[in-house]
Structure 1
Amino acid sequence: MTDIKIEEKWQKKWQESKLFESNPSEKEKIFLTVAYPYPSGAMHVGHGRTYTVPDVYARFKRMQGYNVLFPMAWHVTGAPVIGIAKRIKRQDPWTLDIYKNVHKVPEDELQKFTDPQYIVKYFSTEYHDVMNRMGYSIDWRREFRTIDPHYQKFIEWQFRKLKEKDLVRIGEHPVKYCPECQNPVGDHDLLEGEGVGINELTLVKFQIGNDYLVAATFRPETLFGATNLWLNPESEYVRVKVDDETWIVSRQSYDNIINQKKDVSIVSDVDAPSMIGKYVKNPLTGAEHIILPASFVDPEYATGVVYSVPGHAPADYIALMDLKADTEQLEKYGITEEVQALQPVGIINLKGFGEIPAQEMIQKFGVENQNHPKLKDATNEIYKLEHAKGVMAEKTGEYKGLSVSDARDKIIEILVADKKGDIMYEFSERPVICRCGTKCVVKILDDQWFLKYSDENWKESTYKCLEGMNIVPEEVRSNFNYYIGWLQDWACSRRLGLGTKLPWNKNWIIEPLSDSTIYMAYYTIAKYMKDVDPEDLNDQFFDEVFLGLKSGEGYQGNINRQMIENIKNEFGYWYPLNWRLSAKDLVGNHLSFHMFHHSAIFPEDKWPQGIVVFGMGLLEGHKMSSSKGNIIMLEDAIETYGSDVVRLFLMSSAEPWQDFDWRETEVKGIKKRLDWFMEFSDRVDEIYGSKIDLNDHMSVPEVEKPVNRWMLSQVNMRMRDATEALEGFQTRKALQESLFLFKKDIDHYFRRVNHELDDETAREEISRVLAYILGVWIRLMAPFVPHACEELWNNHQGKGFASEADWPEYHDEVIDEKVQKAEEIVQTLANDINEIKKIIDVKPTKIHVYVAPEWKWKVFDIAKEVGKPDIGRIMGQASKQNIHDDKKEIAMFAKKIARDMTRIKYVGQIDEYSIIKDALEYLSGEVDAEVIVYDDPTYDPEGKSKNASPYKPAIYME
């Protein structure tokens, strides 16, 4: 294994040589970017996987001769660090514990974390250092932070462009909102609740005296089947003034309502237990419904009031059945007779179901009570079926015959228009907690700025962008198609946080996902910005550089014309972006926004060309979470194992788009593999007789021995398959070929040739093969374990850096199926002999091996030509060619191979006798007995030779 000092040595040499600084050249370019990190904490091994994938690909492509740009920056827009700073300032114990003990921040540094800018500076510096320790081939000249004034000018330009195209609007919209920060929040601002959506609910006003008991529902069409309302008598309820009405809702729901309705105030408390047994009026049917107790009603969700439809809602059905059986509860509220009289009402016809689908679904899923784990599944299935195939029944009057979805839309429209209902928004799941520690609410902002992702023309150009892109893995393309269609207007501005102010309204700050859509273009010019005053960056500059547009005389400012031309050429060389890599949880936002914004701003020839989607990280089978302390810090992993081991594990444990699981025992196993790889060079030098000069062994050597031809065939096959895998970002498959299976080949090769090393001629040929393997193997592994490979390359006189050596090219003509099949015969023969020895439990002294006669090979050739196991045609051709006198024997053999042809990969006739004869010494050693092979069976006391078949010699033991 490489030690840390060796890794640091090569990191320093790469830095001093400016090896990874990429400038336009005559070479074909590859420009790839990965989501820049939000530096609010230390890097963990999950981050390590995210940034190692593009580095492996960048290194691979660089060795293939491409001019590769792999840049990095820091995303510090938004409110997360503001929230962290607030919690540090108030000495929040949980936050202090996380930053002291998980992120390992020294006490004197932690006290400075009351300044959000300092948090950003501290962790971006740490990220930079750890990325260097991981050996990432980053062009650091292009590093920036999203609060840098130059970058903010770029973002202002982007948003003015979008506004010019009428793709930004002001309006009213529900957003996730933190009351403490007084700001909309996105997923990156949350401690809990990432990926949680916002649902639209219909509020139904059930009149009770002069008040309205307000229930929330997804399915207002089921009002025709309502039997009662549910209240939680153990929760607090209040009367709330909304406009000129008084609503009764849970106290907790008031916190949501005040963020969605204007001029809302609490009038008085309500005694919930006293409400039980009273009646309300259904606003759609006029029916009277009793209020019943239900502990399952969550006072924090929606209004804390639920109306019951036991005919179509499994949860309501089972709750009603449970209440009917609860005599104590019924007697407590004096509602025994009323509850026993309640019966489910069916109001939706669904093919395959009777009048009460909820009852049938309860039985299907075996739900026994309200706490049964399958109740949610039963509910989801019936809702889904009724939405897709349900038809309103006759008792729904004017809605009879309508589909459920059509009836729902009409009823919502009527309820809202007649002021018998309203609209409310609620999270699809709870809790949703801001990084400042506050529970978030859904708030309707009425002066919010939105990106108009609902615009159909914009969607069409985005679909076109997607159509022209490579997506890895390809099956994610359907997800992108879905999200592009699904996305509606997006709240793109906030009141508080770090970031760029909205150019036309400085009271707003552009939110994080909206300012990180086309920053890949900024990387191409970032290295020039240190010599530019940000005040000299105007729309004319960006128009000319990025769009080739000149208004009037073009750019007017202090940047000289030659620099502008250089910047334009730099952008023109690197764009379009070849690959964008990011996590799968960003498919529905950032990665889709990436396509939306490119298609709106840039000409089609500058649209992105590819996206790679990452899976998530697990730690010993559990999801990694910084906030829960369930992580391994990347720097700690480097200190324990070295960066090459960490890289090797992260790339071999799963393909990039699959979830990976960091397990200590497996990491230790990978360390042993790397140790073996390093030790291999010493063994090769020992056999060679001196330190190998790799420059003398870059070409495929000429060899005579079959086993050496086999080894060269395997080497070139591994090269081919590893290269193809890396082209598709299949890092795990590439390592299977270039390390694990390659090692297996070499282990076998050493066993095969070990007995020949005393023969000077044989040793010389073996040495040339091993020297060639060493040169190939170092280069194959260089993208994965660059430090180890630099050390080996340097120790064997490799020219320059291994990181810029030519990627090993495979030779098709060396990959020989017959050579591979020949060695397979030898290996299988040894295994078969040892298996027979186990069965007979006798130690033989001699083992006689018989190869197939010529006529059996001809039958195989005929069968292959026929193309399918057609015994009649095989026999006809065999007879015509007169390949063997005994027709019965031919027929029996033809039947046998008819069964075997699909199993045996037939590559043509091989000189089995010569192959086995050449391997006799190896075979004798493997089976611990003398092995004799016969071309013509002169000795065959039990007639075993007749069993010999192509690729399957017969065996006799004595």
Structure 2
Amino acid sequence: MDIESKWRDKWRDAGIFHADPDDREKIFLTVAYPYPSGAMHIGHGRTYTVPDVYARFKRMQGYNVLFPMAWHVTGAPVIGIARRIQRQDPWTLKIYREVHKVPEEELERFSDPEYIVEYFSREYRSVMEDMGYSIDWRREFKTTDPTYSRFIQWQIGKLRDMGLVRKGAHPVKYCPDCENPVGDHDLLEGEGVAINQLTLLKFRMDDSYLVAATFRPETIYGATNLWLNPEEEYVRVRTGGEEWIVSRASLDNLSHQKLDLEVEGDVDPGELIGREVENPVTGENHPILPASFVDPEYATGVVFSVPAHAPADFIALEDLKKNSELLERYGLGDLIKGLEPINVITVEGYGMFPAAEAIQKFGVESQEDERLEDATGELYKVEHAKGVMSSHIPVYGGMKVSEAREVIADELKSEGLADEMYEFAERPVICRCGGRCVVRLMEDQWFMKYSDEEWKEVAHRCLSSMKIIPEEVRANFQYYIDWLNDWACSRRIGLGTRLPWDERWIIEPLTDSTIYMAYYTIAHKLRGMDPEKLDDEFFDSVFLGETGAGDELREEFSYWYPLDWRLSAKDLIGNHLTFHIFHHSAIFPESRWPRGVVVFGMGLLEGNKMSSSKGNVILLRDAIERHGADVVRLFLMSSAEPWQDFDWREKEVIGTRRRIEWFREFGERVSEIWDGELALSELPEFEPESFAGKWMICQLNHRIREATEALESFQTRKAVQEALYLLKKDVDHYMARVDGRVDVEVKMVLAHVLSAWIRLMAPFTPYTAEEMWERYGGEGFVSEAPWPGFREEAISREVQVAEEMVQNTVRDIQEIMKILDARPERVHLYISPPWKWDVLRIASEVGKPDMGAIMGRVSASKVHSNMKEVSEFVRRILRDAGKSEVVEVDEYSVLVDASDYIKSEVGADVVIHRDADYDPENKAKNAVPLKPAIYLET
């Protein structure tokens, strides 16, 4: 039996990760439960290994740790997957066969969405167990479980009772294929893409309107023409009793917002070029001109041109004036001659036509120039932030652009001269089902009132009481709390819980995953209970009742809550993680509010973004089979801090395997030194007498302290650096210092190092640590062994500095030998005279690079009679200021103790001089504190 299956069986049989209330201090942490619609990849591995490392660490510190897991199977994406499987969609079949490696006999059953989540839930749990996660699996549940659904109905009912759920219309991301609103969690592409509101300005042409969309309705006063793309298709549609002309490609989006929209017929855009439309504000006539830059899928496919303030319009107009072929084809020669920019906005630093200046500033040469986007972005921001409507603009002259924009849009809409629509800030937005999403104006929809100002205030209070790692993303949470508007919290189809007061609707996945951490505390005790008995009164009693009344469920919840740490990806700050704060702050008293959040970075594969849909992933199971779970865990924890993006690189993973092999080899070496009689559980207290031994114990305590502090703040990379890589370097040096010597002290030092080292590595490489702990006489499971404590008094800066001096001295000798190309018979080392230590101490007390002050203090103290020598030394101190610290050591004793080591490193006898009794080349004068002078005798 391999060691991984061996220890999984032992952990399971002993139930060591089952967490029940007791008299210990608790730690309760959760990580976002997965949506099991595909196999786990290495990105998921990092997500779930971080909390496991922390859970194992805190458990070894003596805390009662609860780390549970569940499966988020609600929503519509899995239904879309099932539908594509049913119709034998080639792309979907390829992804599930080749990327997710689903056996053919299983894939045949994927036409059932519930079987998909059942299959991948089993797959996830199996891989999580293979990774050695210390999860309390008794609390496992699915979000479609009837008992969980009752809990979710209780939650949303509480919010509705508080007036935080409303019914109305609101723009949402919508998948026409799934016939449902979608959240970022449901998307293959377009996560985090915002929905923007645009103003539709109606330019009359006969009995129709060409409807142009804009973010800047205030610029209508500077319109000179309209742009259409003559290579695209346009149609006449009827909506609101009017006939509009828009691009055919815009219908997918527009028809989900104008629900009465009907297509009446095609329009040849080529026949419209050269015709005129009426400006809805100024009443002036503007020509319709051809432009290839008009994207028919964006908004309405109709654009009005403001060349004074839009760099794209300015350069397009200039390009058209030079395009004799187009001018001749559409007979535009005379029509275009009179088109000149019209100023609308005054902004400091720009003249009458800012667009022309921006074009020149960025060196834009044509419509296809990539710099055009930069010029546009900068000008739009400046005009919005600092611009005012020019004085000649009627009514609005002198008004800030940021204010005029909203006022003008509202007035035009109220007069029937304008309308509105919504559009994605970026495209495409693709649902997990593969369908292209649109913006839909949902009527008769239920919404979470995240726009409620009082609720926002409470959410801010909750956030202010929380620890956020990394701290710099706190500003992101503050932004999203302020930015969030009402959220469509229900859908028509999909898996999930029905609204208790309107069963036509199903609660959407992000809304049913906000406070489920509370459900974990009692999930194992609800199994087998009749869901009908779990009414609002039941959950009120458990989660909101008074504690200490003897109810087992209430006491279990009260023991574990509040949640100590919530871990999730940074792309969920804008929804799930912020919803988590909103819902907790509304439903629970302040004493139950969450205490902390850790935000993860993203994963790369050989420098490229991972994507299951594009096949650019490595499955976690494959990585485990190829490298072993401990190697995968260690690499994922050491390649980057959790909040940083990590990059899976195969060569580096292989290098990580070698580090674990070295660790095992060290254990075998120590066991051999002990002649196989090593018993780590029986090691007595021990203090070494040799300097090398004191240094090794000092470094061990130092590494333990640094690794412990790093793990307390989830710095897994720093913890691994200290606990493995730097400690290995220390051990290598110690082994060189003792140079094969085996005595009682060396044996005890190495045994104490090994005992602490195995425990330090246990959270990262639990299988290896358990095997070594058992092999070398540790008691019980290392997973339950005490975390190695550190003794502050054992961490001696004097010892560390002294050993640094030894190592630096060896390097200096070797460098001199290299320069002189010499092989000396003896190396003479001269330590610094006492007066230089006195001067260094005085300089430190002065505390600033002041030659006069230092010399004055030195002269008064009479530490040395030769003031010229003193002056030269002080200049050296000032020149090297900040390069060294004043830590006094007995240089002579340290160097004498290390003389055998120095001799072995440089290949020559070593003589340590306290005084310059033998100094044929007058080298002793060069000695300074912690840097002996060197003379090579050949």
Is the counterpart of residue 258 in structure 1 residue 255 in structure 2? yes
Q: What letter matches 2:921 in structure 1? A: E
Partners of 2:343 and 2:2 in 1: how far apart?
75
Q: Give 1:320's match in structure 2, choosing from 311, 317, 321.
A: 317
CA distance in 1, matches of 2:147, 2:577: 24
Deviation at 1:549, TM superposition (A): 6.6
The answer to whether 1:49 aligns with 2:46 is yes
Q: How far apart are 1:338 and its partner, in Å? A: 2.4
- 2:330 pairs, out of 333, 349, 354, with 333
User: Equivalent residue for 1:866?
Assistant: 846
Query: What is the letter of the counterpart of residue 776 of structure 1?
Result: A
Match status 1:726 vs 2:711? yes
Task: For 2:318 and 2:137, locate their aligned partners in 1 and report how far apart those are by CA, in whole Å.
Answer: 67
Q: Which amino acid aligns with 1:724?
A: E
Distance in 1 (alpha carbons) for counterparts of 2:478 and 2:795: 41
Query: Does 2:909 match 1:930?
Result: yes
Q: Distance between the aligned counterparts of 2:713 and 2:229, measured in 1?
A: 56
Structure 1 residue corresponding to 2:114, chosen from 117, 121, 126: 117
1:596-655 Cα deviation digits (max 9, x unpaired): 001111111001000000000111111111111100000000000000000000000000
Structure 2: which amino acid aligns with 1:510? I
Pick one of 642, 645, 648 that aligns with 2:634. Answer: 648
d(CA) in 1 for partners of 2:127 and 2:605?
20
Contact 1:755 / 1:922 at 8 angstroms: preserved in 2? Answer: no
Structure-2 residue corresponding to 1:342: 339
Q: Is the 8 A contact 1:33 1:579 kept in 2?
A: yes
1:711 aligns with 2:690: no
Which residue is 2:933 aligned to? 954
1:601 to 574, 587, 590: 587
Match of 1:745 in 2: 730
Rounded Cα–Cα distance in structure 2 between residues aligned with 1:229 and 1:845: 92
- Rounded to whole Å, the distance in 1 between the matches of 2:725 and 2:898 is 25
Q: Given the alignment, which residue of 774, 793, 797 partners 1:794?
A: 774
CA distance in 1, matches of 2:328, 2:909: 94
Superposed displacement of residue 755, structure 1 = 4.9
Q: Percent identity?
A: 62
Q: Corresponding residue for 1:912?
A: 891
Other-structure match for 1:556: none
For each residue in 1:473-515, what CA deviation from the matched residue of structure 2 results, as whole angstroms up to 9, or x when unmatched? 1111111111000001000000000000010000000000000
The Cα of 1:840 is off from its aligned counterpart by: 2.2
Deviations 1:925-949 (A, max 9, x none): 2122222221111111111110100
**In 2, are the aligned partners of 1:698 and 1:772 still within 8 Å (CA)?**
no
Counterparts of 1:90-239 in structure 2, within 5 Å, are: 90-239=87-236
Residue pairs, 1:333-732, within 5 angstroms? 333-548=330-545, 565-697=551-683, 699=685, 701-732=686-717
Deviates more, 1:67-76 or 1:359-368: 359-368
- Aligned equivalents of 2:822 and 2:367: distance in 1? 67
SS at match of 1:169: strand
Amino acid at match of 1:530: R
User: For residues 762-810 of structure 1, what are the alpha-carbon distances to aligned partners after superposition, in whole Å with 9 as ceiling and x for unaligned?
Assistant: x221111100000000011100000100001001111110001001110
Q: In the TM superposition, what whole-angstrom CA distance separates every residue of 1:270-313 from its partner, at most 9, and x where no partner exists? A: 11001111111111111211111111111111100001111111
8 Å contact from structure 1 (residues 77, 498) kept in 2: yes
Distance, in Å, in 2 between the alignment partners of 1:841 and 1:401 is 81
Cα displacement (A) at 1:435: 2.3
| Matched length | 937
Look up the match of 1:28.
25
Q: For residues 813 and 388 of structure 2, what CA distance do their matches in structure 1 show?
A: 71
| Distance (whole Å) between structure 2 residues aligned to residue 680 and residue 249 of structure 1 | 74
The answer to whether the 8 Å contact 1:713/1:820 transfers is: yes
> How far 1:830 moved relative to its partner?
0.8
Answer yes or no: is the 8 Å Cα contact 2:227–2:304 preserved in 1.
yes
Map Cα deviations across residues 308-356 of structure 1 (whole Å, 9 max, x no partner). 1111111111211221221111111111232233222221111111111
Q: Deviations over 1:510-555 (max 9, x none)?
A: 00000000000000000111241111111110000000079xxxxx
For 2:252 and 2:603, how far apart are their aligned partners in 1? 36
Pick the aligned partner of 2:36 from 35, 39, 47: 39
Deviation at residue 698 of structure 1 after TM alignment: 6.1
The secondary structure found in structure 1 opposite 2:374 is helix
Structure-2 separation of matches of 1:16 and 1:263: 64
- Tell me, what secondary structure is at the counterpart of 1:454? coil
Code of the aligned partner of 1:836: I
CA contact (8 A) 2:192 2:574 kept: no
Asked whether the equivalents of residues 240 and 246 of structure 1 are also in contact (C-alpha less than 8 Å), the reply is yes
TM-score (ref. length: structure 2): 0.99
* Deviation at residue 145 of structure 1 after TM alignment: 0.2
1:192 CA drift (Å): 2.0
RMSD: 1.4
Contact 1:869 1:899 in 2 (8 A): no
Per-residue CA deviations over 1:236-290 (Å, capped at 9, x if unaligned) read 1111111221101001212222211132111121110011111111111112111
- 2:269 alignment partner AA: A
**Partner of residue 557, structure 1:** none
**Distance in 2 separating the partners of 1:261 and 1:452:** 24
Distance 1:531 1:267, change over 3 A: closer
Q: Secondary structure of 1:709's match?
A: helix
Deviates more, 1:184-193 or 1:582-591: 184-193
SS state of the match for residue 343, structure 1?
coil
The residue type equivalent to 1:508 in the other structure is W
User: How far apart in 2 are the matches of 1:655 and 1:367?
Assistant: 41
Counterpart of 1:395 in 2: which secondary structure? coil
Rounded to whole Å, the distance in 2 between the matches of 1:898 and 1:688 is 51
User: Which whole-Å CA distance do the structure 2 matches of 1:175 and 1:411 have between them?
Assistant: 25
Partner of 2:922: 943
Of the three residues 808, 820, 824, the one matched with 1:844 is: 824
Give ranges in structure 2 of 5+ residues lacking alignment.
none
- Structure 1 alignment gaps of length 5 or more: 551-560, 758-762
Alignment partner, residue 289 of structure 1: 286
2:762 alignment partner in structure 1: 782
Segment of structure 1 superposing worse, 690-699 or 734-743: 690-699
Counterpart of 1:396 in 2: which secondary structure?
coil
Distance 1:337 1:191 in 2: 50
Q: Is the 8 A contact 1:688 1:764 kept in 2?
A: no
Deviates more, 1:867-876 or 1:146-155: 867-876
- Which residue is 1:824 aligned to? 804
> Is residue 771 from structure 1 mapped to residue 756 from structure 2 by the alignment?
no
Give the deviation of 1:885 after TM superposition.
Answer: 1.3
**Contact between 1:712 and 1:769, CA under 8 Å: does it hold in 2?**
yes
Write the distance in 2 (CA, Å) between the matches of 1:834 and 1:419. 88
1:195-226 deviation digits (Å, cap 9, x = unpaired) = 21111000000011111110000001111111
* d(CA) in 2 for partners of 1:929, 1:307: 86
Range with bigger deviation, 682-691 or 523-532: 682-691
SS for the counterpart of 2:574 is coil
Letter in 2 for 1:719: I
Structure 2 letter corresponding to 1:630: N
